[in-house]
Amino acid sequence: MNKVRVHELAKEVGLSSAELIKKLDAMGIRVKNHFATLEESTVERFRASKDESAAEGKSAEISEKPKAKEPPELKKKTFKELRVPEGTTVKEFAMMVGKSPTDLIKILMRLGEMVTINQPLSHEAINVLADEFGYEAHIIFPEEMGEEYVEAPTDIRPRSPVVTVMGHVDHGKTSLLDVIRKTDVISQEFGGITQHIGAYQVVRDGRKITFIDTPGHEAFTAMRARGAKVTDIAVLVIAADDGVMPQTIEAIDHARAANVPILVAINKIDKPEANPEKVKKQLTEHNLAPEEWGGHTVFVEVSAKQKINIEELLEMILLVADMRELEANYGGPASGVAIEAKLDKGRGPVATVLVHRGTLRVGNAIVAGLAHGKVRAMMDDKGNQITEATPAMPVEVLGLSSVPQAGDEVKVVADEKAAREIAEERALKRRVIEMRKRKAVTLDNLFERIKEGEVRELNLVIKGDAQGSIEALKEALEKIGQDEVRLNVIHKGVGAISETDVMLAAASNAIIIGFNVRPGPKAKELATREQIDLRTYRVIYQVIEDIETAKAGLLKPKFEEVELGRADVRATFKVSKVGTVAGAFILDGEIERGSKARMIRDGVVIYEGSIASLRRFKEDVPTVKAGFECGIGLENFQDIKVGDMIETFTLVEKSRE
């Protein structure tokens, strides 16, 4: 069913939101404010009443006043474009439209929104106010602030493809890039793991290919996700003797989330135990079928060690790039993205920039996120000093005032003064925006978001203790009615909930469901910081029940888990008449005798019950605080091993609205 907001319908029929609300009220239709959504039947009823009004007006013109004017409500407004920076306050907007801030506050109060003179306006409030005063609002985001440039068709030319190399650790990503670049990168890296994202260009048949080297180790997952978003093609490297691994699946999910085509490179085919056909079969389970099997994914069997089929891999990359018809504007001021940034002792802030559009030149004034400056010098990927960089070319830039964040947009502006002003304005706007940071989708607010038309798809990240459990849960979720909101499992895997899962959920506005698994401390902290709804369950039907009731808006009292303490099992002891007791060290909080507890082994919950006994120096104690050792006995559980983690918690009931 189509739903229309009040201010959208007002704009369609040429009325202000306040006038429309009055007319709806006269028809007996009550609406809260201009943000409210109207059902299709209500919209049709209003349009029908307008048609009748128009017909009556036309009849009156014929019988009484042949030259009478068209009724006011039938006149359409003409709108002028108004460019409004995101985070604009009531006072700033009033100055833009030449009105008093008091007038704006009165309008918003009448429409159900309470604001103050220095309060930033929401996107919808900006659109409604602009509509009230005859403007078409165009909201400018901080990254868009800068010099405007109108593209000339003659400046559009084909550009080089930008390729990200992804995959599981030790599957040969760096070795493959080393062969392609013909430079020894591995010998300069600690432990064989890439220390940061670097960008390199190679030439094949006179055509350049830009490679972004994303690290394969789990600790750098956030960088890998960013790498997938700035590229045209993702090359997925899989070892022929190892097959699909957890990080391989993560790489596939990140590439798909960024809507990037995947090209598979099956590496290490020179090994005796290599089995490329097995890898292909495994990948078909993830909807990556080779072309010879009737699929649409390009597969290349390579060996970085023996330099087999490296040229064919480059040829396939160029073929996929040709199919995408990649083009860029080579004229005008440059813009791009900071792939990485660091503070060099000798050179100051240094940023590796991948140019997206235009030509970046030495001497240009630039803004990079909250940093600004002038390009003092540029180096290419081989360390040579250059004077200009064209689209798809990675360069190291010197001359910034501070270190930008990796992923920040880099833009050329008129001069250094303008660059400084834009950077300062961005810093202010970013602080304002952080104050009213977007509200992530949770099961608690799902019904309201569906009702307001904001949510049509609910993304889920599922982690479980076994593949069978995950598949059973996924099948049960697929049976839930998909009419109001479609459930979309964007990632599923076995093991503890990691920072990778939280980061993917944040990027996709997803909910994380853990089945018989728990998040690590860092993952839990990250989920809280990113406001991600992270839920853990022991029974499948509870997952289904929570989602169904959230969709229907039937919110039962919520039992929120409050963690009391964590203990690390460092030894085990056999006690007569008691059984196995854990010799534990309290990491944080405190452990109470009789409190609820769970035992976690390798991120998987293997026991849930309560603390049966708690002792220090052979004496029973009620509690033990962080930093002390103690003996812990669990109720009806003996399978305690060194390295296990004991968590104690309590459940607090909270009403939900």
Provide the CATH number for the domain around residue 548: 3.40.50.10050
Among 170-184, 249-263, 266-280, 625-639, which is the least confidently predicted range? 170-184
Considering the domain boundaries, does residue 462 fall inside one? yes
* Same domain as 477, residue 359: no
- Binned at pLDDT 50, 70 and 90, residue 225 comes out as very low
The whole-number pLDDT of residue 317 equals 93
* Same domain as 217, residue 247: yes
Considering the domain boundaries, does residue 151 fall inside one? no
* Same domain as 35, residue 133: yes
C-alpha pair distances (Å), 420 with each of 332, 360, 369, 370, 403: 20, 18, 11, 9, 14
User: By the 8 A CB rule, do 470 and 441 touch?
Assistant: no
Among 57-71, 467-481, 603-617, which is the least confidently predicted range? 57-71
Considering the domain boundaries, does residue 637 fall inside one? yes
| 12-22: pLDDT as tens digits | 777 766 677 77
The whole-number pLDDT of residue 478 equals 77
* Same domain as 217, residue 122: no
The whole-number pLDDT of residue 518 equals 86
Tell which phi-psi region holds residue 2, choosing left (phi > 0), alpha (psi between -120 and 50) or beta.
beta
What value does the mean pLDDT take over residues 345-367? Answer: 90
Among 79-88, 358-367, 376-385, which is the least confidently predicted range? 79-88
C-alpha pair distances (Å), 619 with each of 104, 623, 648: 70, 12, 21
Considering the domain boundaries, does residue 218 fall inside one? yes
- Binned at pLDDT 50, 70 and 90, residue 216 comes out as very low
Burial of 317 (0-12, 13-18, 19+ CB in 10 A): buried
What value does the mean pLDDT take over residues 556-575? Answer: 83
For the chain, what is the domain count?
A: 5
* Same domain as 305, residue 399: no
Provide the 8-state DSSP code for 141: P
User: By the 8 A CB rule, do 102 and 158 touch?
Assistant: no
What value does the mean pLDDT take over residues 425-437? Answer: 63
What value does the mean pLDDT take over residues 101-127? Answer: 80
Question: Is the pLDDT reported for residue 106 higher than 50?
Answer: yes
Task: Give the DSSP H/E element, type plus range, for residue 599.
Answer: strand 596-601
Domain boundary, last residue among 267, 295, 327: 327
Considering the domain boundaries, does residue 441 fall inside one? no
The whole-number pLDDT of residue 152 equals 61
The whole-number pLDDT of residue 433 equals 56
More confident of the two residues 144 and 124: 124
Tokens of 226: 């960013």
The whole-number pLDDT of residue 574 equals 87
- Binned at pLDDT 50, 70 and 90, residue 65 comes out as very low
- Binned at pLDDT 50, 70 and 90, residue 83 comes out as confident
Domain boundary, last residue among 556, 591, 607: 556
Report for 19-28, 226-235, 430-439, 470-479: range of highest mean pLDDT? 470-479
User: By the 8 A CB rule, do 247 and 167 touch?
Assistant: yes
Give percent of the chain with pLDDT exceeding 90. Answer: 18
* Same domain as 452, residue 427: no
Express the helix, strand and coil content of the chain in percent, nearest 5 each: 35, 35, 35
The whole-number pLDDT of residue 398 equals 93
- Binned at pLDDT 50, 70 and 90, residue 347 comes out as confident
Among 181-195, 246-260, 413-427, 433-447, which is the least confidently predicted range? 181-195
More confident of the two residues 136 and 267: 267
Tokens of 320: 């996929």
Among 223-237, 291-305, 378-392, which is the least confidently predicted range? 223-237
Domain boundaries, position 386: 329-435
Residues 178 and 188: their CA atoms lie apart, in Å, by 11
The β-bridge partners of 237 are 167, 265
* Same domain as 334, residue 308: no
Tokens of 427: 């810093």
* Same domain as 244, residue 115: no
CB atoms within 10 A of CB 96: 17
More confident of the two residues 138 and 193: 138
CA dihedral 521, 522, 528, 529 (to 10 degrees): 160
Question: Is the pLDDT reported for residue 62 higher than 80?
Answer: no
* Same domain as 288, residue 162: yes
Report for 28-37, 124-133, 422-431, 585-594: range of highest mean pLDDT? 585-594
- Binned at pLDDT 50, 70 and 90, residue 214 comes out as low
User: By the 8 A CB rule, do 545 and 556 touch?
Assistant: no
Considering the domain boundaries, does residue 136 fall inside one? yes
Considering the domain boundaries, does residue 148 fall inside one? no
The residue written with tokens 């994380």 in the block is 512
What value does the mean pLDDT take over residues 71-90? Answer: 64
Identity of residue 335: S
CATH of the domain at 129: 1.10.10.2480
CATH of the domain at 644: 2.40.30.10
The whole-number pLDDT of residue 222 equals 47
* Same domain as 314, residue 184: yes
| 250-308: pLDDT as tens digits | 888 878 877 789 999 999 999 888 899 999 999 998 889 898 888 889 999 999 888 88
CB atoms within 10 A of CB 414: 12
Tokens of 137: 């609002």
Residue 282 main-chain phi, psi, to 5 deg: -65, -40
Among 37-51, 149-163, 178-192, 277-291, which is the least confidently predicted range? 178-192
* Same domain as 355, residue 266: no
Residue 531 main-chain phi, psi, to 5 deg: 60, 45
Residues 406 and 198: their CA atoms lie apart, in Å, by 12
Domain boundary, last residue among 435, 463, 496: 435
Question: Is the pLDDT reported for residue 586 higher than 90?
Answer: yes
User: By the 8 A CB rule, do 447 and 485 touch?
Assistant: no
* Same domain as 496, residue 463: yes
CATH of the domain at 277: 3.40.50.300
The whole-number pLDDT of residue 360 equals 93
* Count, residues in the chain: 657
**What is the DSSP pairing of strand 207-213 with strand 233-239?**
unpaired
Question: Is the pLDDT reported for residue 142 higher than 70?
Answer: no
Provide the 8-state DSSP code for 59: H
What value does the mean pLDDT take over residues 419-444? Answer: 67
DSSP letters spanning 224-263: HHHHHHT-SEEEEEEETTT---HHHHHHHHHHHHTT--EE
**What is the DSSP pairing of strand 388-389 with strand 365-368?**
unpaired
C-alpha pair distances (Å), 601 with each of 58, 132, 598, 628, 657: 79, 60, 10, 22, 36
What value does the mean pLDDT take over residues 51-70? Answer: 50
CB atoms within 10 A of CB 135: 20
What's the pTM? 0.52
More confident of the two residues 550 and 203: 203
Considering the domain boundaries, does residue 647 fall inside one? yes
